Amino acid sequence: MNQSPVITTPSVVQHNAMVNAGFAMSALEMRCFLAMLSRISRDDTALPVCRIPVRELCADSTSKNVYQEVRAMTVSLAKRALLLEVLGPNGERLPEPDVKNRPLMGAIDYLRREGVVEAVFNEHLRPYLLELKNNFTKAQLGQLLKLKRPASHRIYWLLREYAPFGKRTVGLSELRHVLGLQDEYIDRFDHFKVRVLEPARQELASTDLPFTYELIKQGRTVSEIRFLFAPAHKELPEAPALAGWEAAVLATGVAVASLEPVRARLAAGDYDEDYVHYVLAQVKKQVQAGKVKKEGGAVYKALLDGYMLPAYQKTKLAPASAKVKSSPALSSQRKKLLSELEDARNSLSWAQTAVIYTDETRPAAVAKIAAAIAALEQQLEQLGK
């Protein structure tokens, strides 16, 4: 099986059929489920084995029995199943789909000596989690981590799916199905309102999806709930990120504080960003040839002193080679790379502040993402960006 990426992503994605699936979880189970979603990369073609530190699952816990609770959680989560719509041949939702009972986990274990939960989703969930091209919903991990109640998580996802519209009407029986409330509150809507709807409204008030709701009745009985919220003009708010050249320079080992003199030279017009990328490429060749041992030091010196400028300026004077004619395949590839680059930059911003990283683990995570950004930028450059 695939080894899980060490780095979680700032956004998580599910097929809409999974957003609307019926299942119930405890708060700790939901946190584990969310942590697993955050470890799925858009490039994954197989479900990854996720290794989740206990401290990530119980970051806010003051319980003395954390490890016993995590062990019990893995046992209960191993038994969880989803009521899932069967998808069409191209991953589309069908008008009147069959609904099948599918296990959530392929395997899940608590590794006591390592202090981690190791888990992988069941293979039946592959079309609902991997290589999603359409019919999916994306949410910010930071927003979801604000929620404590499992029902609030599920309602958040239902509203996120309809974020561009600003409202969503859900039948009461459908909502109970999604929340996994098979027998609860059947005859007492007032209990459902007090214990499910109102707590969700209060929790989502601190997220990017605060909502109000209206009750729709047939006679005296509530039959539907109309959720109302501000329509989203963008799929997700953009997270602040470093400029592309900054991430690429950091990936070589240059310190964050050392970026400021380079920014100053760029602002003064001493050279442009293309020179920065030229330096990165030339130093990398020198490293590969064994002429340079410390890549970061060589890059910083060339940027600070500008000694590669004469050679760089000669390349600008050289006749430009004929551009490769655009094609649908190249356009599609460029669009994919740009999307991946945006996610990678968001991941970098996330890793720089996320509480799941410590002072020891954060530098490695940031460096890994920065290296991925540099590689994506290089691929785009080769496509003639």
**Predicted local confidence at residue 229, as pLDDT:** 93
Instruction: Note whether 172 and 222 are within 8 A (CB).
Output: yes
Q: Do the domains 1-134 and 146-235 sit in the same CATH topology, yes or no? A: yes
Instruction: Note whether 50 and 44 are within 8 A (CB).
Output: no
For residue 33, give the nearest of 67, 100, 80, 99 by alpha carbon. 80
For residue 76, give the nearest of 129, 24, 115 by alpha carbon. 24
Write down the H helix ranges in the chain. Answer: 16-19, 27-37, 54-57, 66-77, 126-129, 141-144, 150-161, 172-178, 189-192, 198-204, 244-250, 259-267, 273-288, 295-305, 309-317, 328-353, 362-382
For residue 56, give the nearest of 84, 80, 36, 81 by alpha carbon. 36
Read off the DSSP letter of residue 123: G
Determine the Cα–Cα distance for residues 385 and 379; give it in Å rounded to an integer: 9
pLDDT digits (tens), the chain, 385 positions: 444 334 455 789 999 999 999 999 999 999 999 999 999 988 889 999 999 998 888 866 666 788 899 999 999 999 999 999 999 888 888 888 899 999 999 999 999 899 899 999 999 999 999 988 888 999 988 889 889 999 999 999 999 999 989 999 999 999 999 999 877 777 788 999 999 999 999 999 999 999 999 999 989 899 999 999 998 754 444 434 455 678 778 777 777 677 888 888 888 888 888 898 889 889 888 888 888 888 888 988 899 888 998 888 888 775 544 444 455 666 677 777 777 777 777 777 667 766 566 677 778 777 877 888 888 888 877 776 4
Note the CATH number of domain 146-235.
Answer: 1.10.10.10
Burial of 127 (0-12, 13-18, 19+ CB in 10 A): middle
> Which distant-in-sequence residues (6+ apart) come within 8 Å of 17 by Cβ?
84, 85, 87, 93, 97, 128, 135
Q: Which CATH number fits domain 1-134: 3.20.20.60, 1.10.10.10, 3.90.550.10, 1.10.10.60?
A: 1.10.10.10
The encoded tokens of residue 35 equal 């942590």
Instruction: Note whether 26 and 151 are within 8 A (CB).
Output: no
**Predicted local confidence at residue 363, as pLDDT:** 80
CA neighbours within 13 Å on the CB side: how many for 306? 14
Domain limits of the chain? 1-134, 146-235, 244-317+324-382
**Predicted local confidence at residue 104, as pLDDT:** 96
**Predicted local confidence at residue 384, as pLDDT:** 64
- pTM of full prediction above 0.85: no
Read off the DSSP letter of residue 187: S
For residue 54, give the nearest of 148, 144, 118 by alpha carbon. 118
Instruction: Note whether 233 and 344 are within 8 A (CB).
Output: no
Instruction: Note whether 344 and 373 are within 8 A (CB).
Output: yes
**Predicted local confidence at residue 268, as pLDDT:** 84
Read off the DSSP letter of residue 188: -
> Strand 2-3 relative to strand 48-53: parallel, antiparallel, unpaired?
parallel
- Phi, psi angles (nearest 5°) of residue 40: -90, 125
Give the DSSP per-residue string, 71-96.
HHHHHHHTT-EEEEEPP-TTSPPPSS
